[in-house]
Amino acid sequence: MGPGVQDPRARQPSGGRGHQPSGPQRRLLLVLPCPRGDADPGALPRAAAALLRGVRGRPGRLRTHHPRQGRHRPGGAGGVQRGLAENRARYCHERNLAVNPQGGNTGMVGGSVPVFDEIILSTALMNQVISFHGVSGILVCQAGCILEELSRYVEERDFIMPLDLGAKGSCHIGGNVATNAGGLRFLRYGSLHGTVLGLEVVLADGTVLNCLTSLRKDNTGYDLKQLFIGSEGTLGVITAVSILCPPKPRAVNVAFLGCPGFAEVLQTFSTCKGMLGEILSAFEFMDAECMQLVGHHLGLVSPVQESPFYVLIETSGSRAGHDAEKLSSFLEHVLDFGLVTDGTLATDQRRVKMLWALRERITEALSRDGCVYKYDISLPVERLYDLVSDLRARLGPQAKHVVGYGHLGDGNLHLNVTAEAFSASLLGALEPYVYEWTAGQQGSVSAEHGLGFKKKDVLSYSKPPAALQLMQQLKALLDPKGILNPYKTLPARA
Ligand SMILES: O=C(O)CC[C@@H](O)C(=O)O
Ligand SMILES: [Zn+2]
């Protein structure tokens, strides 16, 4: 199996917005039985015992600490779990044991799975809300909280999480931050580099770096937390997160539209920004092949007539009447100008979820189509679909499907190619072509999925040698023994 290729049997993120989590689960901490070269031979079994002690207790439900207990009071569950992460990091550091931090294991690039002999350090038991402030909307929670449970928790208090992903039913907030996950609310609420206010991180030597502040403004020197956001567990293990939650919008509308060509998709986007302004919260697109795949593999039915492209527009605002008025004059305009040929609107939650499922479940449909070659690319929005058309012509019958979809509002294309089985010649036709094409547009070879194990060797297509060197130096400074998530993010040194 090639480096950018997804094994069709690999675990997939859970389905669309309607997905219900299966409730708290017991996660096993796996210990692979081969010590690293110079490690103490008895160390792994002892580490296994120490690690496994951590899964004995009943996995907790999402709950808030009693404020009187304090966050790190000895005996408080938060203190115990954080303490375990800290002790494990010390233990592993002393014995030169490699550690693979793991959250919900829903990543796309193999960042959360061990490569050789790493010990998996699961955050599953660190699943408590530490505090939530109803005026500021600042949530402080442990790393193992499941995104969907956090969403429910803050929504009950009239706020929302600033990020939303198809994998919300199983991904952990710590993993979201470690991978700097993008997702469906990025257009409106921006990157985790902006919404995360503080982090608690266990460093490679077991030191706890407590930068878990809840301040909107803090200009005291280097902003160290930024180093860990998107570093995929290679610089430290995130154990707690402080994050700013926006107020829950009172009115959410979704429009699902059919467009006759990609030029019209782009014009619809420009018009939409101009006419919907501050209420626009998502602008997603998918091509006709995506629609065929969700229909064929998942039985989902298109709500609009067959079109070469489809667009999903979400608005989130505070006055339903005002938003509906804006949306209908926008729709009238795009229909009159032939930018859109058919469309449907949803305001009730059930239909909103149904329309989102068409877009969110494309990944799931692709995984049922065979062997999937996945690319997550940032490009100038005007060129976003050229790569897909270009590849369709280049690959011809070698590929079963070449599809393009994604977060058009963020300039993020998800290019996926499917085939009956893995083929070295198909991979050879795709790589390095896709990466060279992207670099030619000054794009990014990983817009939101990170580099992990699968994409680490293509980093240089998007970063200059001096940046790579500085990254290697930071890694050596923070993790001199190279025990934190080795073989990930950075290419192997020559
Ligand atoms: O599977 C993919 O390529 C994309 C997954 C995810 O980022 C999405 O936006 O649906
Ligand atoms: Zn995405």
> What does the pLDDT read at residue 400?
98
Q: pLDDT-derived band of residue 19, with 50, 70 and 90 as boundaries? A: very low
Quickly tell me which residue has 């990020």 as its tokens.
Answer: 163
Is residue 421 pLDDT above 80, yes or no?
yes
Which residue type sits at 91? Y
209, HSE (Cβ side, Cα atoms, 13 Å): 21
Does 363 sit in the ligand 1 pocket, CB within 6 Å? yes
Q: Are strands 237-244 and 196-202 parallel, antiparallel or unpaired?
A: antiparallel
pLDDT in tens, 44-100: 444 444 444 433 333 333 333 333 333 323 223 345 555 666 677 798 888 889 999
Quickly tell me which residue has 């995506």 as its tokens.
Answer: 290
Give the number of residues written for the chain: 494
Is residue 42 pLDDT above 80, yes or no?
no
Q: 436: burial class by Cβ within 10 Å (0-12, 13-18, 19+)? A: exposed
Is residue 267 pLDDT above 70, yes or no?
yes
Is residue 37 pLDDT above 60, yes or no?
no
Q: 38: burial class by Cβ within 10 Å (0-12, 13-18, 19+)? A: exposed
H-helix or E-strand containing 312? strand 309-317
Is residue 359 pLDDT above 80, yes or no?
yes
Is residue 21 pLDDT above 70, yes or no?
no
Does 416 sit in the ligand 1 pocket, CB within 6 Å? yes
Q: What are phi and psi of 42, to 5 degrees?
A: -85, -5
Determine contact, residues 172/59, Cβ cutoff 8 Å.
no
CA distance 47 to 42: 9
Determine contact, residues 136/157, Cβ cutoff 8 Å.
no
Is residue 494 pLDDT above 90, yes or no?
no
Q: What is the mean pLDDT of residues 214-222?
A: 96
CA distance 316 to 51: 44
CA of 366, closest atom in ligand 1: 1
CA distance 306 to 295: 12
Q: Which of 171, 360, 362 has most ligand 1 atoms within 8 Å of its beta carbon, as the pocket-test mutant? A: 362
Q: Which residues, 6+ apart, have CB-to-CB distance to 206 below 8 Å?
A: 86, 87, 89, 90, 91, 93
Q: Which residues, 6+ apart, have CB-to-CB distance to 402 below 8 Å?
A: 289, 388, 391, 392, 395, 415, 416, 417
> What does the pLDDT read at residue 81?
58
pLDDT in tens, 94-150: 888 999 999 999 999 999 999 998 999 999 999 999 999 999 999 999 999 999 999
As a whole number, the mean pLDDT across the chain is 86
Give the ligand with the smallest distance to the CA of 286: 1
Is residue 438 pLDDT above 80, yes or no?
yes
Which residue type sits at 274? G
CA distance 440 to 420: 30
CA-closest residue to ligand 1 atom 5: 363
> What does the pLDDT read at residue 13?
28
Instruction: Report the percentage of the chain scoring pLDDT > 90.
Output: 80
Q: Closest Cα to residue 415, out of 425, 430, 426, 429?
A: 430
Instruction: Report the percentage of the chain scoring pLDDT > 70.
Output: 82
The tokens describing 241, both together, are 């997160």
Which residue type sits at 169? G
Q: Which of 5, 19, 187, 376 has most ligand 1 atoms within 8 Å of its beta carbon, as the pocket-test mutant? A: 376
> What does the pLDDT read at residue 83?
62
Quickly tell me which residue has 């997702």 as its tokens.
Answer: 183
pTM, rounded to two decimals: 0.86
Q: What is the mean pLDDT of residues 4-29?
A: 32
Is residue 289 pLDDT above 90, yes or no?
yes
pLDDT in tens, 375-405: 999 999 999 999 999 999 999 999 999 999 9
> What does the pLDDT read at residue 82?
59
CA of 416, closest atom in ligand 1: 3
Is residue 35 pLDDT above 70, yes or no?
no
167, HSE (Cβ side, Cα atoms, 13 Å): 20
Q: pLDDT-derived band of residue 189, with 50, 70 and 90 as boundaries? A: very high
Evaluate whether ipTM surpasses 0.90. Answer: yes
Q: How far is the CA of 482 from the centre of ligand 2 (A)?
A: 30
Is residue 20 pLDDT above 80, yes or no?
no
Determine contact, residues 486/119, Cβ cutoff 8 Å.
no
Query: Residue 136, SS3?
Result: coil
Q: What is the dihedral of CA 443, 447, 451, 457, to 10 degrees?
A: -10
Does 166 sit in the ligand 1 pocket, CB within 6 Å? yes
Is residue 23 pLDDT above 80, yes or no?
no
Determine contact, residues 390/413, Cβ cutoff 8 Å.
no
Q: Which of 14, 356, 410, 414 has most ligand 1 atoms within 8 Å of its beta carbon, as the pocket-test mutant? A: 414
Q: Are strands 99-102 and 119-122 parallel, antiparallel or unpaired?
A: parallel
> What does the pLDDT read at residue 191?
98
CA distance 365 to 371: 12
The tokens describing 215, both together, are 């301040």
